[in-house]
Amino acid sequence: MKRSIRLPCIAIHQGENRRLFTFAIDGKELHSIAQVSRLGRGEDFGLLGYQRPEVQSHIAEIRTYLESTNPLLPNAIVIAFDKGVKFHPAGKKSGISQAGEIEIPVFDDEHERVGWIVDGQQRSAALRDARLSSFPVFVTAFLTDSESDQREQFILVNSTKPLPKGLIYELLPETEAVLSRALEQRRIPSMLLNRLNHHLSSPFRLIIKTPTAPEGYIQDNSVLRMIGTSLHDGALYRIALTTPEQERFDTMIDCLSLFWRSVAEAFPEAWALPPRRSRLSHGVGITSLGHVMDAAYDRHLRTGQPLESCFEQSISVIRPLCAWTSGYWDFGGGMNRKWDEVQNTTKDCHMVASFLLLKLRQSWR
């Protein structure tokens, strides 16, 4: 059985013989007018379709967002229709657009849909599964009987350059929406980094390189990694456990500022130089000293020694051991590394951090 639906629509011409149609539809109805062309191979191994399988984790995250308070999906779903879809103009053309109605046949058999989702299959699946009675969305559609046409648009839509991670992380602190789990885990580190990079009294002020501080020379990823490690099982984790929620963020900032100010004062020359000239402002320095901060904070909790004193004392112990801008690291056992040979790799970061922590804990015995 076939029926049709008519929806208000705007049509525009592109190029010599292309028309695009934009209309709104209840997201719950998308799968009644369009299906997904799954990527596969036929009996002769010829390519079929173009869409990857549904990513259930991504769909679940979108669904959670849709079921949250006041969600917004501004991006249009892109659908390719066959020539069975008709546009009925209404009135005269206005400039580059023509108002009217789009008529879309609807079949009971899901395999006889007249449309194929070119972009937005995860969103459409989340709309289908969400516990919502309705959710209107925009659709941008074009007409074609060619799967090659659909495949071309699919590639073009999905091959654009993604947003730089630095830009995403800088935007996160000012975003209150429900985000994916991965981005949520980055939100607090991003908020802390943002405060460190812009607070007047911060030792990091404007020296962390971000889209809004392009002259900075310390990579944002190095600072985010240091903060993330501490939040997972270090000083910032201890603060989160023991500090009232309304004081937690400021206490974390105070701890980070206090420690890294002590670092900047102990190594003023190395702190002021870019990573190619100083391993302190390099990922290996930021990461390894982050572990020193965590260890010193634990000692502060165990002994009751004032935090500032504990930080300063810890840095004074490791200061003569560090080769940030010249000389050699003497890791013992005949293992010496020139200052610029230690790199921002997991192995080297672990080696430097372990060496400094060993010497620090020996001094506490």
| pLDDT value for 211 | 86
- Name residue, tokens 């607090």: 188
Q: Within 13 Å, how many C-alpha atoms sit on residue 96's CB side?
A: 8
Q: What is the rounded distance in angstroms from the CA atom of residue 348 to the CA atom of residue 341?
A: 9
Q: Which of 236, 352, 228, 349 is nearest to 283 (CA)?
A: 349
50-89 tens-digit pLDDT = 455 666 888 898 999 999 989 999 999 999 888 789 999 9
| pLDDT value for 197 | 92
Residue spans of the domains in the chain: they are 2-158, 165-363
| pLDDT value for 267 | 98
| pLDDT value for 213 | 87
254-311 tens-digit pLDDT = 999 999 999 999 999 999 999 999 999 999 999 999 999 999 999 999 999 999 999 9
| pLDDT value for 93 | 82
How much is the mean pLDDT over the chain? 88
| pLDDT value for 50 | 45
Q: Which of 298, 235, 37 is nearest to 144 (CA)?
A: 37
Q: What is the rounded distance in angstroms from the CA atom of residue 363 to the CA atom of residue 317?
A: 7
**Which residue stretches of the chain have pLDDT < 50?**
41, 45, 47-48, 50
Q: Within 13 Å, how many C-alpha atoms sit on residue 120's CB side?
A: 24
Write the single-letter amino acid at 270.
Answer: A
Query: Helix crossing, 245-266 with 181-198: angle to 10°?
Result: 50
- Residues 41, 144: contact at Cβ < 8 Å? no
CB 329: neighbour CB atoms within 10 A? 22
Rounded to two decimals, the pTM is: 0.68
| Alpha helix (H) residue ranges in 22-130 | 30-33, 56-66, 121-129
Q: What share of the chain has pLDDT > 70, as a percent?
A: 88
